[in-house]
Structure 1
Amino acid sequence: MGLFDNVASPGEEQSRRYTCLVCRASFDVQYHSCPDCGAYDIRRTKWLT
């Protein structure tokens, strides 16, 4: 993970940047495990498209 990975580029949506692949909950910060279901598979939303 680079120094500027969390800096949004112009026009990038600021909220809901991470998604749990198990329960599909969305977050604006990256968690190690999902606070909703406890799963460890949290990915950046833009990687899922």
Structure 2
Amino acid sequence: MKIKLIKNEEKGIKRNRPKKLIETITRKGISLTAIYLYSTHLQYLHF
């Protein structure tokens, strides 16, 4: 039973890794888009 639990935990870790990567990528993307929108907004204010 213990061996099966360990194997399941390993599978869970492997499955969660891509989710964490996607989360970090989306967070970086959101921050980049926010900066981009903010910079464009400043440009519009200057005009």
Fold agreement, TM-score > 0.5: no
Q: Which has the higher helix share?
A: 2
* TM-score bracket for the superposition, by shorter chain length: under 0.3
Q: What TM-score do the two structures reach when normalised by structure 1?
A: 0.19
Q: Which has the higher strand share?
A: 1
Higher relative contact order (CA 8 A, sep 6+): 1
